[in-house]
Chain A
Amino acid sequence: MAIEASLNDNFPRASEQSLDDQRLRAASRIIDSKTLQTEFHVPEMHCAGCVRRIERELAKLNGVISVRANLSTRRVRVLWEHKKTSATALSAELDRQGFAHMPLQLGALSADEDDNLLRHLLLCLGVAGFAAANVMLLSVSVWSGADAETRDLFHLISGLIAIPASAFSGRPFFASAANALAHGRLNMDVPISLAITLALAMSIWESLQGGQHAYFDAALMLLFFLLIGRALDHMMRTRARNAVKLLASLAAKGAVRIAQDGSQHYVPAAEIKPGDRLQVAAGERVPVDGIVRGAGSDIDRSLVTGESASFTIEDGAAIEAGTLNLTRPLIIEATKTADQSFLAEVIAMMEAAENGKARYMRIADRAASIYAPAVHLLALTSFLAWLIASQGDWHMSAYVAISVLIITCPCALGLAVPIVHVVGAGRLFDHGVLIKDGSAFERLAEVDTVVFDKTGTLTKGELCVVETNADADQLALASALAQTSRHPAARAIAAFSKDTPAQAVPTLSDIEEHPGLGIEARVNGRIVRLGRPSWAGSIAADAPAVLVVPPALSAVWLAEENGGVAAFAMIDELRPAASTAVRQLQAAGLDVQILSGDTFAVVRETAERLGIKTSFADLRPADKITHVEKLQSEGRRVLMVGDGLNDAPALAAGHASMAPSSGSDVGRQAADFVLTGSSLSGVVISRDTARQTDRLVKQNIAIAIAYNCIAVPLACAGLVTPLIAAIAMSASSILVVANSIRLRFNNPRQPLETET
């Protein structure tokens, strides 16, 4: 803690810094008393040119010690001296270079753990590769007929290389097998570990006896192939997980705390205590559960409850973490810490649901649970049969039994399944879909029911104007008023009027935003209002029903004092390709349903527009999870697609799940697939890819079984030598790998045409 103490003396006092600087400082890691390290996420860094520009320009700043851009993770790591420069200066320089960026929160840096695991796997791979290559060289000379003396020497050297190498490189498999056995299960790693261990043990015995056959090369090659599969699998999962983590770190994880003396400080969310007064600016999310103190505002609870309409909140009202503040700065008094907030309840529900999913067994492991006992039984039978037939030659019998185990070792599968998944994940990545786990492909392929959330999933979660009777002057006025607000309805009007020819912009004065009602201002001495029809219409000369609005549409009126009225009808627009995706899923024979927290009328309207027959409205998070679980207890396999906090438990409960990246952190973490684009075509592409990968995995299992049908009788007959084992193993591995790579050339359905 000595460093921290000295830092307090050295660093400028918090109050001397701007809030922005405090925010960046909170995201920096302290290296030593002089140096800080800040990591930025720069999503638009695409090429060597960007890398060079960022590294060169940042390095030019006084006080920057080093800059390193990582193109794979789209991160820039900067080491800097706090006395000579500031994090805001770095941020400003990135802005000046035109790169949008976000400081990475310290908690989000735990990718280090994944890096370390990958390094360990690569290390195992390197050691196994080195050992396998050298032992194979020695083996080739043995096979081509070395003298007995040379053979024994070579066996000895092989053993000296193979034993430490497999003890080191085999640990990922041994650990996983031991773990499975401890839980009373059998997985792929059990027969693998057994085959390797027995092959080594027998080979040592043979070598010491001066025997002819040693399987050191086979055991090491097995390890080498399997480690390739393991490393590929790991790389795929880390890539997706890192991308999801980056999305999570984009959300600000803190708030501005107002101290007793009225000064304001930026604090990370974890440091907020009940009783703290926090300021939440318009456009920010509420970090913890709290109570509103002082003036109210409009809030958007769509991520929390799924309701698309905005709410007005008053002094003394309770407000949940995750709510978006829309119109005016809010002062809230925290009632809970971040980890006890509404979020925590949702996470508890999610964990309960995930326990159910953990019971899912990968196809490979399911195959192993039949395959492994069969193989072990076969080895035992051939051992006993040879023992009887050879009248007690137990050495010969053990040799045959072990060669059965080696030849049946599911090495091809251990390599083929990850390759299929990696190729599939790469293809989805190109289509903007991240997959977090290979087994999600298998689960998605089995799905027969698709359940969509509405707000933010089928729809964009933002309003857009569909109809208006305003003339050009009124439109210009509405646009000018709307640009002063962050309310979704105002943003919709501002976006709508952007497309119309520019008019002379009226000068506004005395602009005031009334939560729950609308915006009021003066133009040339006259009051104008943009907002709720009854409120805006009350100042107009006459308030005719200018535009009849169906219940699912919301209306905003623009009224001038003693003047005319114009109406805007708006709706939460569907995502691109939403209806095509729904249609294609239905055409593929899937049952499509909507589960929403929104009101009945809105949900029914959306369902009708998309041609979805089954829809449920007004659901709380617990209702959603109950519904999904009910469907699954009827034997259905549910794909849940949702974005909000309220969907997260249902995402965890679904057989497979997807979340758009615009959703909540929790939703993205719970989902197996994350759609990074705005289009829903990813749902269909993912399902197509999942079915193809599933078919390939099953084909590979079939190939492996066919190969065993030939090889096992030979092994049982005692005809397999190490040479035959090596050839057979390589051949089958190459065959399944080649089959898996076909997926790459198998073009998926073209990206769906975009609808507007």
Chain B
Amino acid sequence: MNQIVILLPIALFLGFLGLLAFIWSINTGQYDDMQGAAERILLDENEEDNKGA
């Protein structure tokens, strides 16, 4: 029983963190351009003049 009292809140907390991360990703528009995201992985990032917002 003791383990449960400790483990359960930890498990729920971690799950909740995942949920928060998901909500954050929705609100920052990461699901708005799925196709673009798939292609952008091919781009080099070390370009200083890339002003993408």
Contact = CB atoms under 8 A, between A and B. Distances in A.
Interface residues of B, number: 30
A47 B35 CA distance: 9
Contacts of A47: 39
Interface in B1-53: 1, 4, 8, 11-12, 15-16, 18-19, 22-23, 26-27, 31-36, 39-43, 47, 49-53
20 contacts: A48-B40, A48-B42, A48-B43, A51-B36, A51-B40, A52-B43, A59-B50, A59-B51, A66-B51, A66-B52, A67-B51, A67-B52, A70-B33, A72-B32, A72-B35, A130-B16, A134-B11, A137-B11, A157-B8, A161-B12
A754 interface: no
B49 A59 contact: yes
A67 B18 CA distance: 30
Contacts of B4: 150, 153
A68 B35 contact: no
Contact of A130 (B15, B26, B52, B53): B15
Nearest to A73: B33
A68 B19 contact: no
A55 B40 CA distance: 12
Prevailing SS type, chain B contact patch = helix
Interface residues of A, number: 35
A47 B31 CA distance: 18
Contact of B51 (A51, A64, A118, A150): A64
A276 to B, nearest CB: 39
Contacts of A67: 51-53
A79 B40 contact: no
Given A119-B27, A150-B4, A157-B8, A51 B53 contact: no
Contacts of B40: 48, 51
Contacts of B1: 149-150
A747 to B, nearest CB: 24
B49 A56 contact: yes
A71 B50 contact: no
A711 to B, nearest CB: 30
A155 to B, nearest CB: 13
Contacts of A79: 53
B15 to A, nearest CB: 5
Contact of B18 (A55, A71, A122, A130): A130
Contacts of A270: none
A126 interface: yes
Interface string A64-93: 111111111100000100000000000000
Nearest to B27: A119
